[in-house]
Amino acid sequence: MDTFIDYYRVLGVTRNATKQEIKKAYREKAKQHHPDTGGNKEAFVLIKRAFDTLDDEWERRNYNALYDIYMGQNYYQEDRRDYASVKEKEGGAKNNRENEPDSRHSKQFSSVKKFASWKGVAVTSIFINALLVLSLLYTDPEEETATMELKETLASVISENEELLAHNTALDEELYALHTEYETLVEQYNQAVKTETNTATAAETQDDMNPESEPPSTKHHADEEVSNETNTDFFTLGSTEEHVKTVMGAPSGINNHTGNWRYEYSIVRFKNGKVSGWTDISDNLKVEMKQEKEDVHHFTTGSTQQDVIDVMGTPTGVDSKTNTWEYDYSTIKFENGEVIGWSDVSDNLKLK
């Protein structure tokens, strides 16, 4: 049974491809096969799994160990047949054992090293490699029983490896389902934001008609930051649509319902023609919020938005409607420009 998946072939790159080449290939494949754009769900899940493995340096090293073993198995079977023919001609002499494998395949197996776990199957790969080598060495007739036991053990290990791969596939499918659920929630949230915006607009109109209404607060927070339109290297809160287009180029899509711009899977939100937030899913937005201090190392409840910027840098997501900032999957909640809570899902918040 052949259950090994060539992740390099899945992404259309070579074994020696750089991280940049792998990432570029992944983005092209993901965009082509994403279910939301009419692609195949199973193909998308496989592409995602291949990228997650090859993009991580440690997992890629462990995968390469499996890859080299797999690619060498056909040569190994051929060597077994060639060697048996030579043994028969030489009368089964044992003193030639050290010279049995030809130099080409001695070099093939000498490159296989022992690596740590790779999603629970790296240890299995090491064991398979050891069994293959032992099986190559011990082929004498009087050791036939030991060879059969090794083959049975090998079959058992391969079966366990297949079960682990099947479990991994199930986890990938579960991840895809969660991603779909997340996109549904985002759409529901956008609809709720539109409703809230319409309500707020109606309330502001009513306030303008009421002479006793209090003037709006002039207190300045970081989420009210005014964009420096002369800087074409990045945009920020308050940047105009024209400035965003100058920095990022034309968007890959515009939601006519919400007014949001899309760059691949990243989203830039606008209010009254100016940036009010973003979600940098594709890690491609050229956005920046200015740091003022360099000696601030932690934040806590009561810290200002500027304190958080000085500690954490520019957030990967900003939602001005809910006063929430995102750093990967972690979130920080603000009220009146000060921290009132957080959720450190990604374990990356620098808290005191």
Where does a domain end: 135, 159, 174?
A: 174
Where does a domain end: 174, 193, 210?
A: 174
- Give the per-residue pLDDT at 45: 94
Residues above pLDDT 70, as percent of the chain: 69
CB 68 within 8 A of CB 50: no
Beta bridge mates, 271: 274
- Give the per-residue pLDDT at 167: 86
pLDDT at 337 over 70: yes
User: Per residue in 280-302, pLDDT tens?
Assistant: 998 999 999 888 787 888 899 99
DSSP 68-119: HHHHHHHHHHHHHHHHHHHHHHTTT-GGGGGG-S-HHHHHHHHT------ST
Helix axes 19-33, 41-55, angle to 10 degrees: 170
> Based on the domain organization, do 241 and 323 belong to the same domain?
yes
- Give the per-residue pLDDT at 124: 63
Question: What are the φ/ψ torsions at residue 196 (nearest 5 degrees)?
Answer: -65, -40
Residue 80 is assigned to a structural domain of this protein:
yes
CB 247 within 8 A of CB 286: yes
- Give the per-residue pLDDT at 176: 79
Q: Based on the structure, what is the number of domains in the chain?
A: 2
Residue 311 is assigned to a structural domain of this protein:
yes
**Mean pLDDT, residues 64-78:** 72
Pairwise CA distance, residues 183 & 12, whole Å: 28
**245 or 115: whose pLDDT is higher?**
245
Torsion of CA 206, 210, 213, 216, to 10 degrees: 50
> Based on the domain organization, do 170 and 235 belong to the same domain?
no
In terms of average pLDDT, the best of 72-86, 113-127, 176-190, 221-235 is 176-190
Residue at token pair 């391969």: 158
- Give the per-residue pLDDT at 150: 80
**207 or 61: whose pLDDT is higher?**
61
Question: Nearest-CA neighbor of 333 among 290, 310, 295, 299?
Answer: 299
pLDDT at 53 over 60: yes
Residue 146 is assigned to a structural domain of this protein:
yes
User: Per residue in 14-36, pLDDT tens?
Assistant: 999 999 999 999 999 999 999 88
Enclosing domain of residue 75: 56-92+102-174
